């Protein structure tokens, strides 16, 4: 009999909550109409879509009409960055530890004549605010800084960063893909102008996300997908109604249970770290007091992470972003934080979720220690 899997890769994706699936099913069968149709059945489906938008807004602090439904965070990021009208400004500032969706989209604009500044972070994973302030000029169109890093869980002070951007008249894009549904996010109080959301990072369906676009900032976006002119011509295409309903339900559940889940997951994460940091020479990547409760990124010097991942078999962990895990290159996030290539290749990300148990955590820690002992012989 195969051992039951232990899933510790929740930053890559999460298991869908059964209540989310239950909410979605009727929209595959009973309420299958196109939300853009003008007949009564289509209008009924549209009302459910609008309710989902309300749920997203309630969780993240915006207004329902400020959200564009997308296929996920990557599309939302592309729309936000590539679709932004520059109004004479053609300078973008971002960090070296951003997700590839941000970095690659920014570099694409650089190839098209934009000026791009990519700032290094400190060894903690945090950006030096004075270095960031100096980089933002009167020519800066956009500042892109993620709220929570997907590999290390490091949390940036986005409210302070947004103030720096706005002081120079720049817009602030905050990739909150790893934050929404896990920690409090309020686009208004945090001063966020553009923010991608992805349902599958917090127990919703894959292929469903949204882009928050501040109405107060009077942002003009050029659509990246053309066609039927849906969503006020900002993103064409028939709405993925089941996915949108799932996103909305995931937001509704998170609003009610996020704090309780966070406390329990943090205890599990701390237990895991306590067990694993007994390994000689091991250390946490990133400053411990500024990390998301789901994430433990640990370096085990001399232990090849890929070999470890294969050896763990039914225990799912990772050594970087799921979007770039097909390569054996060292993590760009960890090397940007000052780790050597070897240290980055010796690091493993354990990311926990609300379905994990203390039994799983202790079993996983024991297996990791066992393999390290074998590899060290």
| 3-state secondary structure string across 295-315 | EEEEECCCCCHHHHHHHHCCE
Partnered with residue 93 across adjacent β-strands are 117, 143
Q: What is the mean pLDDT of residues 233-250?
A: 97
SS3 label, residue 329: coil
Is the pLDDT confidence value at 111 over 80? yes
pLDDT the model gives residue 146? 98
Among the residue ranges 84-88, 185-189, 292-296, the one predicted with the least confidence is 84-88
Q: How deeply is 226 buried, as exposed, middle or buried, from its count of CB atoms within 10 A (0-12, 13-18, 19+)?
A: exposed
pLDDT the model gives residue 377? 66
Q: What is the mean pLDDT of residues 62-87?
A: 95
Q: How deeply is 289 buried, as exposed, middle or buried, from its count of CB atoms within 10 A (0-12, 13-18, 19+)?
A: exposed
Name every residue whose Cβ is closer than 8 Å to that of residue 157 and which is 6 or more positions away in sequence: 126, 129
Is the pLDDT confidence value at 84 over 80? yes
The pLDDT tens digits of the residues spanning 150-163 come to 999 999 999 999 99
- Categorize the per-residue pLDDT at 376 as very low, low, confident or very high, splitting at 50, 70 and 90: confident
- Categorize the per-residue pLDDT at 329 as very low, low, confident or very high, splitting at 50, 70 and 90: confident
Contact 168, 136 (CB under 8 A): yes
- Categorize the per-residue pLDDT at 358 as very low, low, confident or very high, splitting at 50, 70 and 90: very high
User: 317-330 as b/e, with b when 16 or more CB fall inside 10 Å?
Assistant: bbbbbeeeeeeeeb
Q: What is the mean pLDDT of residues 60-80?
A: 98
User: Cα–Cα distance between 3 and 17 in angstroms, integer?
Assistant: 23
pLDDT the model gives residue 3? 67
Q: What is the mean pLDDT of residues 326-345?
A: 90
pLDDT the model gives residue 217? 94
Is the pLDDT confidence value at 86 over 80? no
pLDDT the model gives residue 325? 47
Q: What is the mean pLDDT of residues 306-327?
A: 80
pLDDT the model gives residue 1? 41
* pTM of the entire predicted model: 0.95
Is the pLDDT confidence value at 173 over 90? yes
Name every residue whose Cβ is closer than 8 Å to that of residue 329 and which is 6 or more positions away in sequence: none
The pLDDT tens digits of the residues spanning 198-238 come to 999 999 999 999 999 999 999 999 999 999 999 999 999 99
Give percent of the chain above pLDDT 90. 93
Element (DSSP H or E) covering residue 336: helix 332-336
The pLDDT tens digits of the residues spanning 17-52 come to 999 999 999 999 999 999 999 999 999 999 999 999
What is the set of active-site residues? 323
Is the pLDDT confidence value at 324 over 50? no
* Structural domains of the chain sorted by starting position, each given as residue range(s) with its CATH number in brackets: 6-15+258-375 (3.90.1150.10), 18-253 (3.40.640.10)
Q: What is the mean pLDDT of residues 258-285?
A: 97
pLDDT the model gives residue 321? 55
pLDDT the model gives residue 322? 54
pLDDT the model gives residue 278? 96
Closest CA to 153 of 68, 58, 269: 269
């Amino acid at each position: 009999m195969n051992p039951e899997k232990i899933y510790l890769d929740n930053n890559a994706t999460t298991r869908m909550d059964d209540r989310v699936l239950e909410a979605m099913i009727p929209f595959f069968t009973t309420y299958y109409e196109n939300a853009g149709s003008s007949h009564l059945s289509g209008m009924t489906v549209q009302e459910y879509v609008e309710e989902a938008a309300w749920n997203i807004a309630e969780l993240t602090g915006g207004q329902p009409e400020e959200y564009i439904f997308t296929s996920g965070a990557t599309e939302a990021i592309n729309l936000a960055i590539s679709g932004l009208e520059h109004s004479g400004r053609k300078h973008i500032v971002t960090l070296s530890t951003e997700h590839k969706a941000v970095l690659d989209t920014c570099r694409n604009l650089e190839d098209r004549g934009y000026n791009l500044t990519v700032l290094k972070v400190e060894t903690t994973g945090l950006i030096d605010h004075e270095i960031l302030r100096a980089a933002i000029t009167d020519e800066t169109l956009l500042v892109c800084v993620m709220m929570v890093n997907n590999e290390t869980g490091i949390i940036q002070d986005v409210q302070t960063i947004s103030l720096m951007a706005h002081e120079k008249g720049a817009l602030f894009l905050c990739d909150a893909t790893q934050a929404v549904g896990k920690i409090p996010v309020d686009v208004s109080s945090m001063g966020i102008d553009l923010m991608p959301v992805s349902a599958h990072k917090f127990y919703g369906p894959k292929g469903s996300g949204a882009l928050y676009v501040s109405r107060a900032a009077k942002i003009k976006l050029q659509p990246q997908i053309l066609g039927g002119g849906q969503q006020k011509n900002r993103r064409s295409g028939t709405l993925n109604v089941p996915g949108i309903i799932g996103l909305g339900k995931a937001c509704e559940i998170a609003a009610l249970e996020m704090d309780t889940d966070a406390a329990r997951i943090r205890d599990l994460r701390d237990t895991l770290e306590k067990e694993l940091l007994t390994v000689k020479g091991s250390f946490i990547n990133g400053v411990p007091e500024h990390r998301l409760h789901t994430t433990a990124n640990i370096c085990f010097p001399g232990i090849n992470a890929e070999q470890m991942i294969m050896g763990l078999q039914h225990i799912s962990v990772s050594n970087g972003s799921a979007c770039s895990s097909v390569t054996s290159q060292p993590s760009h996030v960890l090397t940007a934080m000052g780790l050597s290539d070897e240290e980055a290749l010796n690091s493993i990300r354990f990311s926990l979720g609300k379905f994990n148990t203390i039994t799983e955590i202790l079993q996983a820690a024991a297996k990791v220690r066992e393999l390290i002992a074998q590899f060290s012989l």
